[in-house]
């Protein structure tokens, strides 16, 4: 018989967890018991469901939302490092893209390569019950934000019969703003006449870091990330007012991000300025996070506990609740709770609620 799962004191000052090396299933059981202590409460779920129902939730999608259809940046970075003989040890995609741009004396070259790579990539199965883009598309939400270059969120909205869904990207540098005709860029959707206003039937997917169809718009190299952050910090008009209003007046649902991603952490610090504005300072937000050291069974239990306590404390200070798990696990639970709340499948429920027009 296996030993019972021990009680572990997880208070912030606790240091009485033994250094237990990995012993297979027994350690996994203990770790699962620990994660349950950090699980979202019924009240957390109720707040999230209410914000979705009223249209005051803004999904914020990162690269993890595209797994397994697309590889994470780390995998692509390794491929590029081998292809271009990257000489340094730090295999971060933005650093390698910077190296490619410098060695080829062309800042657009790595972006063009990436854009062509997307042309040969596949799409998710939007008929899958736990496909995260499709589930989010079924909700009555007006604004979706992503730092991904792909079109998956917009395609999911089309699959959900929201044919009026629009897409746009941030004009974060002078070329994007003043040379749109030369670059063959579409006009910004929020500058259309008559004015476009997103709603649950005609939502907007806003790409902060650019869109694959327009290589000039991609935030890819180290220089790009620096220029992007400087630009949006200096010029608040770079982000459309409807997008900044979504940041400052709705519950943000981060899906597919990790605090281990330094580029996201820099962007996140900028988003904090919106999260802490006015009434939004009191609003609860939610982040879907893969558990620390997922897939690495060699990490000691005590180290795992310290990591998860730190991350929970970091997020809690910003009033952000954490779901520990991958996107598929989160989607499965969210769908189940939503349909239980409304006692109806999502497509039927969406039609009933489509008339709501959130602020």
Tokens of 201: 């039937």
Structure-token pair, residue 72 = 């994470």
* DSSP letters for 107-170: TTHHHHHHHHHHHT-----TTSTT-HHHHHHHS--SEEEES--S-HHHHHHHHTT-TT-EEEE-
Q: Could you report the per-residue pLDDT of 181-218, keeping only the tens digit for each?
A: 999 999 999 999 899 999 999 999 999 999 999 999 99
| pLDDT values of the chain reduced to their tens digit, one per residue, 359 residues | 333 333 333 433 333 344 444 446 777 787 778 778 888 999 999 999 999 999 999 999 999 999 999 988 889 999 999 999 999 988 899 999 999 999 999 999 999 999 999 988 899 999 998 899 999 999 999 999 999 999 999 999 999 999 999 999 999 999 999 999 999 999 999 999 899 999 999 999 999 999 999 999 999 999 999 999 999 999 988 999 999 999 989 999 999 988 767 777 788 888 888 877 766 677 889 999 887 776 666 777 788 888 888 888 888 888 889 998 889 999 999 999 999 988 766 664 444 444 444 44
Give pLDDT, residue 21. Answer: 45
pLDDT at res. 278: 64
* HSE of 120, CA atoms in CB hemisphere, 13 A: 4
Helix (H, G, I), strand (E, B) or coil at 22: coil
Q: What is the SS3 assignment for 287?
A: strand
- The helix (run of H) or strand (run of E) holding residue 288 is strand 285-289
Tell me, what's the pLDDT at 24? 64
148 closest CA partner among 237, 247, 254, 65 = 65
Give the pLDDT of residue 207: 98
pLDDT at 1: 39
Domains and CATH numbers, the chain: 25-70+127-163+244-353 (3.40.50.1220), 73-120 (no CATH)
Whole-Å CA distances, 272 to 265, 275, 285: 10, 5, 11
For 2, 52, 70, 335, the CA distances from 119, given in Å and listed in that order, are: 51, 33, 12, 31
Nearest to 77 by CA among 52, 98, 46: 98
Specify the DSSP class assigned to residue 311.
Answer: H
pLDDT of residue 178: 94
- Tell me, what's the pLDDT at 31? 75
Enter the pTM of the model.
0.87
Alpha helical stretches, state H, the chain: 25-37, 42-53, 73-83, 93-103, 109-119, 132-138, 152-159, 174-178, 222-234, 241-249, 262-275, 301-316, 327-342, 346-353
């Amino acid at each position: 018989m296996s030993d019972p799962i021990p009680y572990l004191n997880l208070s912030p000052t606790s240091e009485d967890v033994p250094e237990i090396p990995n012993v297979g299933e027994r350690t996994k059981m203990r770790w699962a018991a620990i994660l349950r202590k950090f699980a979202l409460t019924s009240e957390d779920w109720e707040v999230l469901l209410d914000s979705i129902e009223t249209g005051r939730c803004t999904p914020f999608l990162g690269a993890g939302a595209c797994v397994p259809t697309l590889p994470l940046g780390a995998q692509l970075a390794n491929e590029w490092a081998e292809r271009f003989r990257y000489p340094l040890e730090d295999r971060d995609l933005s650093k390698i893209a910077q190296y490619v741009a410098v060695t080829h004396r062309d800042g657009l070259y790595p972006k063009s390569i990436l854009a062509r790579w997307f042309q040969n990539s596949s799409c998710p199965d939007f008929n899958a019950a736990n496909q995260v883009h499709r589930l989010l598309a079924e909700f009555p939400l007006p604004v979706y934000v992503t730092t991904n270059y792909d079109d998956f969120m917009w395609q999911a909205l089309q699959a959900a019969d929201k044919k009026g869904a629009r897409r746009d990207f941030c004009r974060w540098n002078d070329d994007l703003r003043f040379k749109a005709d030369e670059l063959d860029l579409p006009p910004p959707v929020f500058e259309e006449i008559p004015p476009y206003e997103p709603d649950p039937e005609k939502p907007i997917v806003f790409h902060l870091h650019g869109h694959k169809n327009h290589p000039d718009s991609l935030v890819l190299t180290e220089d790009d990330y620096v220029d992007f952050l400087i630009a949006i910090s200096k010029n608040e008009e770079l982000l459309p007012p409807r997008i900044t209003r979504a940041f400052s007046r709705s519950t943000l649902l981060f899906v597919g991000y990790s605090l281990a991603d330094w580029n996201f952490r820099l962007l996140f610090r900028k988003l904090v300025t919106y999260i802490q504005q006015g009434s939004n300072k009191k609003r609860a937000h939610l982040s879907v996070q893969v558990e620390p050291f997922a897939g690495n069974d060699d990490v000691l239990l005590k180290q795992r506990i310290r990591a998860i306590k730190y991350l929970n404390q970091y997020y809690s200070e910003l009033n952000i609740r954490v779901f520990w798990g991958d996107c598929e696990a989160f989607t499965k639970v969210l769908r189940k709770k939503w349909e239980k709340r409304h006692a109806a499948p999502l497509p039927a429920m969406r039609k009933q609620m489509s008339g709501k027009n959130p602020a």
